Amino acid sequence: MRFFLWPTARDRREDKGSLPGADLVGFHRAATSESTRFAFGEVKSSSDVDSPPSVVGSPGTQSPDRLISQLHRLLTERKRRQDLIAWLKWRSYQDADSQRLFAEAIVAYFSSQPDALILGVLIRGAVASQPSDLEAIAQHLSGIAGSLELRLIAVYLPFRMKDWPALVRWEGDQP
C-alpha cells in the first residue's frame, strides 16, 4: 500500500528546494508487513530517445534537477527528509487514518535503523523499454542507501509525451 497526501496548496515541503519539494511524499506499507514507513520520491518524464535520458543523469552529474541528484539528496540529507516529515505531519492532521499512519511511520523512521522508502520514477513516452535507463544510477545509489530502501521504477507508455495532455483532457461529458 502506498498513500501519498496530495498537496491542496502549493506550499513549501522543503527549504532550498522547488516550492512543492519532492514529488512524492507519503506512506508505504508492504503487503507482508504490519508496519508503516515514510515514502519519499521523485518523478521524471522524458521523450528523449537516448538511454539513459538526460533527465536521469549519471554518476558524477552535478545538475541538481537530474533524478540521480534528487535521489542522492533524499538518501543523504537528513534535513531534507525532516522537512518533508514536518510537511507530512501538518498534512496528516486532516483525518484519523493519516494521523495513525504518521504515528507508525515516525516510530519506524527514528528507530535504531531508520526505515523509509525512497522512490525514483521515470516515465517515458513512445520509446522501447531500456534496462540501461536506470541501471547506472541504481548501482551508484544502492551503495549509499544505508538502512533506507531505494526503489527505481521505469514506466514506458506507448504514447508520445506531447500527446499526453490531449489523452487526459476532458472533452464535453467524456474524459
Q: Residue 114: its pLDDT value, please?
A: 86
Average pLDDT in the chain: 87
Instruction: Kindly report the length of the chain.
Output: 175
Within the chain, residue ranges assigned H as helices are 67-76, 78-92, 96-109, 132-142, 164-168
In which band, very low, low, confident or very high, does the pLDDT at 85 lie, cut at 50, 70 and 90? very high
pTM: 0.86
Taking a C-beta distance cutoff of 8 angstroms, is the pair 22, 40 a contact? yes
pLDDT at 98 over 80: yes
Distance CA 171, CA 175 (A): 6
| Per-residue model confidence as pLDDT tens digits over 146-169 | 999 999 999 999 999 898 888 887
In which band, very low, low, confident or very high, does the pLDDT at 10 lie, cut at 50, 70 and 90? very low
In which band, very low, low, confident or very high, does the pLDDT at 170 lie, cut at 50, 70 and 90? low
The conformation of residue 174, written as its DSSP 8-state character, comes to B
Over the range 7-43, which residues count as b (16 or more CB within 10 Å of their CB) and which as e?
A: eeeeeebbeebeeebbbbbbbbbeeeeeebbbbbbbb
In which band, very low, low, confident or very high, does the pLDDT at 61 lie, cut at 50, 70 and 90? confident
61 sits in the region (left: phi over 0; alpha: psi -120 to 50; else beta) called: beta
Domain extents in the chain: 2-7+14-168
Phi, psi (rounded to 5 degrees) for 172: 65, -125
